[in-house]
Structure 1
Amino acid sequence: MKATILVVEDDLDSSNMLRELLGMADYAVESAETADEAIAAMTERRYDAALVDLTVAGATTEELIQRLQGVSDRPPIVLFSARTPDDLRAAAEQLSAAAVIQKPASMGVLLSTVARVIRPPS
């Protein structure tokens, strides 16, 4: 069974590119464009990993982090953002993120990082 990845990205071009890339790597991919959609998706379904941009519609970075912390069975999170390294590091610590990728990143880095953090089937 394919691992399912949630892409949380409000830039439609970036989201489409990530969906296509991860799909070609044989992942099932769903996307959320807003904080509300991301939290609802993680609450309603089980994902093997989530690729999360810290800047999405509907919440400040701090609000998004706080809301993600409240999701009981959230997937391993890969922060994928153009924020400063210090901002990414702080957010990663707050979320116990599995990995951090600074945008822009190569396809190889993205795919190897996602493959490394996927939670094992239960």
Structure 2
Amino acid sequence: MSARILVVEDDRTMAEVLLAYLRRAGYETDWSADGSEAYQLWQRRRPDLVVLDLMLPGMSGLELLRRRRTIADDAAVIILSARGEEEDRLVGLETGADDYVVKPFSPREIVLRVEALLRRTERAAGTQLVNRRLEVGPLLVDQGARTARYEDRELALTMREFDLLAFLAAHPGQTFSKVELLRRVWGWEFGDTSTVTVHIRRLREKLERDPSDPRLVITVGRAGYQLVDGPVG
């Protein structure tokens, strides 16, 4: 059964090109040019992945994404935007997007990013069958149940936050660059490393007593990030 992709884009020409490329790649597709309509379509059709423009009539792309994430919708999301500044990308990623592509773009690039995201999602679902518990100091990660506890407190993690934490917990004391984490956790050979920055920030907000002074998920110079191996003071 092929994955279902929802394209939310008010530029008909651009949407038709994207839909043609996605269908040629074997995906089932739906299209909406209006934010409010897209919300209903998203709810009704339950897409595996959404390609989402930000500037939409009816409801902005960011508001649409925010509303879907508040009800724990875990469909993968690729944002399309003409705004490519770092702060714009961070806002999109923090709202719940998995990837951010700046216009103009190649339709083939979108297909490749869709394929990478769906592969990552499929692998994450497969890890539910893995019965492995990881303990790093006061942190316990149960890969079989896909749950994590820190100091006897269960953590409310998204699917991708869990994947990142589980990877770091499997390699305590080892430092990984953003590019390495993007490749080994997300499964992407290319992509915006701001995705990693945002997810590290989210983990710290849920793990650390003081996220501005992290003691568990730390930054190691310019090399990258690591999960501290051993008790945390």
CA-based RMSD: 2.0
Q: Distance in 2 between matches of 1:24 and 1:39?
A: 25
2:100 is aligned to 100
Match for 1:58: what amino acid? G
Q: What residue ranges of structure 2 are gaps of 5+ in the alignment?
A: 126-233
Give SS of 2:80's match: strand
Per the TM alignment, residue 82 of structure 1 is displaced from its structure 2 partner at its CA by 1.1
Identity %: 29
Q: Distance in 2 between matches of 1:12 and 1:48?
A: 22
Per the TM alignment, residue 38 of structure 1 is displaced from its structure 2 partner at its CA by 1.3
Higher relative contact order (CA 8 A, sep 6+): 1
Tell me the matched-pair count: 121
Q: What residue ranges of structure 1 are gaps of 5+ in the alignment?
A: none
Please list, as runs of the form range in 1=range in 2, the aligned pairs for 1:44-55 lying within 5 A after superposition: 44-55=44-55
Q: Distance in 2 between matches of 1:110 and 1:34?
A: 21
Per the TM alignment, residue 12 of structure 1 is displaced from its structure 2 partner at its CA by 0.9
Please list, as runs of the form range in 1=range in 2, the aligned pairs for 1:1-122 lying within 5 A after superposition: 1-85=1-85, 86-95=87-96, 97-118=97-118, 119-120=121-122
Structure with bigger gyration radius: 2
State the Cα deviation string for residues 74-115 of structure 1 (Å, max 9, x = none).
4110111112332132112112x1111111112332111000
Report the TM-score, using the length of structure 1 for normalisation: 0.85
Do 2:52 and 2:61's aligned partners in 1 also have CA atoms closer than 8 Å? no
Give SS of 1:109's match: helix
Q: Distance in 1 between matches of 2:83 and 2:71?
A: 23
Report the TM-score, using the length of structure 2 for normalisation: 0.47
